[in-house]
Amino acid sequence: MAIKLDHQLREQLPQNNTEFPITFFHDELATLPNHAGPLHWHPEFEIATATLYALDFQVGQEHIFLDVGDSIFVNRNILHGIKQLHGDMHEPMPNIVFSSGVIASEISAVNQKYIQPIAACDSLPYIVFKGENEKQRKIHHLIKEMYQEMHQKGECYEMIIQHNLIHIFEYIFRNIEAFSKSRTSRIQIIAQVRIQKMLSYIYEHYTETVTLEDIARAANISRSEAGRCFNIYMGYSPIEALIQYRLQIAHKLLNETNLTLQEISVECGFNSVNYFSRQFRKTYGCSPRNYRALGK
């Protein structure tokens, strides 16, 4: 299942999961250029696991390196992205995205007493469950079992998953003080909101002529402040972020359509085929024409 984002970077989950609000993802990195997923957010929790290769899991401004066997819990509404660090093959990275309704009704005492304190904890953007940690062996077993149940969807799989999540959240609740990171500062929160607004603008308007001023205006900040925010979160400029997103779309179109290079160039907002080809070669190491030939 491909990762789909709306213009606000919120992940668009299938519409048929309202009765049991959880979605299972697997092999998504294989569909993404350079095995890297874009920064995005969603109002659901997420649990993901590194299975074959080490991963760089960015949460907010922080980069967390997951070794093989490590799992990560990401809290709600936290900007995050993922990148495979090594390996010629893609990392399957099984992960689940779920709302608190899987565990208990949002108006229930269980949800209000045990789930909401975790969701509302500003100092708990994520938790890493280390594969080598013997004390967390049960947690790893519960996570692995949930992946299997979501894949197979056998009898009573919903009850098994609910049971496992209850135990995981009980563990988090009982140890929340030990897991809590330093509280996110007001400056960091403001910066995250700004980067969300600017990335949203890029994702919505990439087919058009976009300037640095346009991107900065989306967050009501100066061009220099926009550059500072992007450098903190992404390590490059807003215009480079625009180019990289256009190239991601072009990469997908080369794989999935028979559009000409001219048509793809226009579709992705590049002003010429030659410029598109130069940027593509710079990022992926070959021309779009050769990439398509090798891919097919």
pTM for the model: 0.78
- The predicted pLDDT at position 25 comes to 92
- The predicted pLDDT at position 9 comes to 45
CA distance 220 to 113: 38
- The predicted pLDDT at position 49 comes to 97
- The predicted pLDDT at position 130 comes to 95
- The predicted pLDDT at position 32 comes to 75
- Residues 149, 150, 151, 156, Cα dihedral to 10°: 50
- Those residues of the chain that have pLDDT short of 50 are 1-10, 13-16, 296
- The predicted pLDDT at position 129 comes to 96
Q: Which domains are assigned to the chain? A: 15-179 (2.60.120.280), 186-295 (1.10.10.60)
- The predicted pLDDT at position 111 comes to 95
- The predicted pLDDT at position 155 comes to 95
Burial-class residue 285 by CB neighbours within 10 Å (0-12, 13-18, 19+). exposed
CA distance 233 to 218: 17
- The predicted pLDDT at position 19 comes to 81
Question: The tokens 């990195």 sit on which residue?
Answer: 29
Identify whether the C-beta of residue 168 lies closer than 8 Å to the C-beta of residue 102.
no
Structure confidence by residue, pLDDT tens digits, 199-224 = 989 999 999 999 999 999 999 999 99
- The predicted pLDDT at position 38 comes to 79
Percentage helix, strand, coil for the chain under 3-state DSSP, each rounded to 5: 50, 15, 35
Neighbours of 243 (CB within 10 A): 23
